[in-house]
Every structure is written in C-alpha cells, then in structure tokens.
Amino acid sequence: MALSDNDIRALLQLLAEPELERAQTIIAHVASMPAEDLKRIGELSRGSPAAVLNNLEAAQARARYLLLDRQWLDVAQARSFDLEKTLVLVAEAELGEDGLHDYVKRRLDDFAARVGAKLSGDRAYDNGLAAIADILGGEAGLRGNRDDYYNAANSYLPVVLERGLGIPISLCSIAILVGQRLDLPVYGIGAPGHFLGFYGDPTLQQGSLFDPFDGFAKISRAGAEKLVRESSDQFDARSLLPVNEREIAARTMRNLIALHRQHGDLEAAERLRRWLEILVKHGNVP
C-alpha cells in the first residue's frame, strides 16, 4: 500500500535529524522503500530544511545501490570480468542516472571504428598505438584534466567520454575498451601515483609504454620510472607490470572513495566501499 501524505510528512520530520550517525536508521528505512514511495517523498520534501534534504539524498543514493546490488554481484562473480559494465554500474550508482551503457557503447564503438580504419589491417605494435593516440588523443581530444585533477567526474566513464577530460586510469580504461573491440593488445600498468598503459605483448616484454594522461603518447621505460619516482619514495620494477581489469576497477573505486572522504561525504564513501569489498572478495585483487 502506498504511503499517505501524512505518513510522508511524519517521515520527513524524522529525516530532520541533523546528526548523520543518528539518522542512519531512518535513512536505511527510507532507502528500502518502493521506488514509487521514494518519488512521492521527494516531491513532498520540496522546501524542507537542509538536514531533511541531505538525509533524503543519502537515502535515495543508498536506494540506487540497493537496486543495482544484484547486477553488481553478477559482475563481481563473473568468471570473465567485464570492465566496461563495471565502470558503467559505478557511474550509474554514483550519478543516479540509468541507461548510461548505451551511450558508452556508442562512443567506444565509434572510437574503435575510427582506430580500425587507420590500422588498415596492420596490427604492428607501434602502428596500433599510433592509431589509438591519433584518434583518442587527437581527433577525439581526450586529455588529462590538469586544471581540476581531483574532480570525481574524472573517474566516471560516461562523463569522461562526454567531457573529454579524465585522469590516467580512466583514460587508459577507454584505450583498453577500444582495444578490446579490435583485438588490440592494450593493458593497464598500475604504477603508483600515475597509471600508465602498455601496448604489445607483456609476456615477451615486446611493445611500448604509453601515458594516457599525455595524449596516449609513447613513453620510454626511463620516463615511466621517472613518473613513478616522482610520486613514490622507492621505485619497484613490479610497478611497471600490467594489472588485470578487476584491479583497474578496484583502483578506480578506491580513488573515488578517497575523494568522498576528503569532501566529508562518508555516506557516499561507505556505499562504494561496500561494493569494493564485494569486488575484491570475488577476485584476485590486492
């Protein structure tokens, strides 16, 4: 049975609790309600005090995660990990938007078609990397957001594709997903402080490192070591080894959790931390 207006007004009074810790019980209760009730609560909350609106926003965000929990568990448990779907789910949960995967797929398919046209069947390592750099860093204008590096938007795949701005790991994720459509050997390198990419065969140590933050340009091993040393006290050669896609997703989520905590949004950090815990539990992630 749908809530009456009087029921909703009573809930809004309870949501006026200013202390987030003490408001957790009512936030959890509201988050578990049917979507129709949540929509009606939102409509009747207009003009409410800030504490009510803040707690209601937390409840609505938690409800989004609960709604997507089944999909998240499927992704986390999948034998063949789907980086694209994982990053889209994170964006949908965080941004409160549905249907983002169609947009992401269209953009990535378009990039792949344009990269493939430049390859003309030649999959030599340097030619392939040059084609990726020409399309993603050149024609598409994807670039590192140097002016607003710590903006969470730089980590949401659909937003990065829309704005053309990202951080190393989100930009490298795009190169990986484009490469997958063409069977190109693109990998992520989990260097601390500055995520890098690799194009080639890492088992034979044949290929090239590249910096997704710098137009997907090829970078020497010495240059890569310099970037790592600038953000870490000690250089470990293992930091220039490829990481699997589950690790890429986990690092993306850790970045977002850290940003939420820095901004004092502990509720958002905890929601994402719970998903990260599930992801790590079902995969070989350090």
The band of 124, judged by pLDDT with boundaries at 50, 70 and 90, is low
Judged by average pLDDT, the poorest of 18-27, 125-134, 138-147, 155-164 is 18-27
Which candidate, 130, 132, 127, 129, places its Cα nearest to that of 115? Answer: 132
- How does the average pLDDT of the chain come out, rounded? 90
First to last CA, the chain: 46
Residue 134 gets which letter from DSSP? I
> pLDDT per residue over 240-256, tens digit each?
999 999 999 999 999 99
Place of tokens 């957001």: 145
This prediction's pTM? 0.85
Q: Where are the alpha helices (DSSP H) in the chain?
A: 5-14, 20-31, 35-44, 50-77, 83-95, 100-119, 125-132, 157-163, 168-182, 221-231, 245-262, 266-281
Mean pLDDT of all residues in 126-144: 94
- Name the residue type at position 9: R
> d(Cα 65, Cα 275) in Å, to the nearest integer?
9
Q: Is the dihedral of CA 95, 99, 184, 238 positive or negative?
A: positive
Q: What average pLDDT does the segment 119-148 reach?
A: 89
20 pLDDT above the threshold of 70: no
Burial readout 217-252 (b: 16 or more C-beta within 10 A, e: otherwise): bbbeeeebbebbeeeeeeeeeebbebbbbbbbbbbb
Is a pLDDT exceeding 80 seen at residue 25? yes
DSSP state of 153: G
Least confident of 121-135, 142-156, 268-282: 121-135
Split at pLDDT 50, 70, 90, the class of 1 is low
User: What is the reported pLDDT for 205?
Assistant: 78
CA neighbor of 161 nearest in space, from 230, 106, 228, 211: 106
Annotate 204-216 with three-state secondary structure. CCEEEEEEHHHCC
Question: Whose structure tokens read 């995967």?
Answer: 101
At 222, the pLDDT band (50, 70, 90 cuts) reads: very high
Torsion sign across C-alpha atoms 231, 235, 239, 241: positive
For residue 68, what pLDDT band results from cuts at 50, 70 and 90?
confident
